């Protein structure tokens, strides 16, 4: 099966048993180097060498190994695109059976990889797609991809959006076959009107407390002074009433002897 072939780097064995690639020139040298890199599991470098050989000799068979190396390197989105390119590559009627087989294998392996590729749905809060520039893993995300599933490689994803001086970003992990919805918020908080019933600042509250305390002290002083005045008046009134009673007894017919004149004046 094609999946078994993908899982086994020994498919590229050395010597006479290795799959035939370009037969001469720089393409042949790149092909042989790519084989060795693939065998040693250096899939990123292998994809580079296979791709350079493919640019020199655009054989579906060589292109198929580019896609396989990308898939093993975890670059699943690039692998899907290369598989699609090879599966749709036009061939002459006299093309080799190997190239026809490579085209069929590319289509089959792409169908196997598709459900494994994770995707991200980007949702903008408080903004429209035309207002925001969005980057997904440092690559520009087209505005038409906002709000719909967009294929990504498994692993760490960095999402960043900018609208003028506003910026929002998210970093998250995504795994094989997962579809994740991620929000970028550009909601601007409305400025609230002054709330006269709101709690005052500590300085204002302290000032109000001081004024209230002063008013309470003044009230207490006024009450105390008034009470003292009433008390003093009552005491003198009581004393005067007692003196008047004595004078009435000592001054018959309201005629007081000279010795009581000071008491009478008091």
Tens of pLDDT, residue by residue over 228-237, are 544 445 444 4
Contact 137, 162 (CB under 8 A): no
Angle between helices 25-39 and 60-72 (to 10 degrees): 30
What's the pLDDT at 50?
97
- Within a domain: residue 195? no
**Which of residues 185, 213, 237 is at a domain's end?**
185
pLDDT tens digits along 40-71: 999 999 999 999 999 999 999 999 999 999 99
Q: How many domains does the chain have?
A: 3
What's the pLDDT at 193?
64
Do 255 and 221 share a structural domain?
yes
- Within a domain: residue 197? no
| Residues in contact with 197: Cβ distance below 8 Å, sequence separation at least 6, in sequence order | none
Q: What is the dihedral of CA 28, 29, 35, 36, to 10 degrees?
A: 160
CATH number at residue 124: 2.60.40.1120
pLDDT tens digits along 74-105: 999 999 999 999 999 999 988 889 999 999 99
d(CA 174, CA 121): 12
Domain that holds residue 240: 202-265
- Within a domain: residue 105? yes
Distance of CA 177 to the CA centre of its chain: 23
């Amino acid at each position: 099966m094609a999946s078994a072939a993908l899982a086994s780097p020994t498919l590229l064995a050395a010597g006479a048993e290795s799959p035939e690639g370009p037969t001469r020139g720089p393409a042949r040298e790149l092909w042989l180097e790519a084989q060795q890199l693939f065998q040693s599991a250096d899939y990123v470098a292998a994809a580079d060498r296979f791709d350079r050989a493919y640019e020199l000799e655009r054989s579906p068979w060589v292109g198929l190994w580019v896609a396989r190396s990308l898939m093993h390197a975890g670059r699943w989105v690039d692998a899907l695109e290369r598989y699609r390119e090879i599966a749709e590559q036009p061939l002459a009627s006299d093309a080799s059976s190997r190239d026809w087989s490579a085209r069929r294998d590319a289509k089959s392996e792409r169908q196997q990889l598709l459900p494994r590729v994770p995707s991200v749905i980007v949702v903008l809060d408080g903004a429209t797609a035309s207002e925001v520039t969005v980057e997904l893993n440092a690559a520009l995300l087209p505005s038409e991809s906002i709000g719909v599933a967009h294929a990504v490689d498994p692993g760490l994803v960095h999402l960043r959006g900018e609208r003028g001086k506003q910026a929002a970003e998210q970093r998250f992990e995504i795994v094989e076959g997962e579809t994740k919805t991620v929000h970028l918020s550009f909601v601007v908080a409305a400025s609230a009107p002054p709330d006269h019933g709101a709690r005052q600042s500590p300085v204002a509250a302290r000032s109000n407390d001081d004024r209230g305390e002063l008013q309470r002290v003044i009230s207490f002083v006024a009450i105390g002074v008034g009470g003292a005045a009433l008390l003093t008046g009552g005491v003198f009134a009581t004393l005067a009433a007692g003196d008047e009673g004595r004078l009435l007894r000592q001054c018959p017919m309201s005629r007081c002897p000279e010795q009581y004149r000071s008491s009478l004046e008091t």
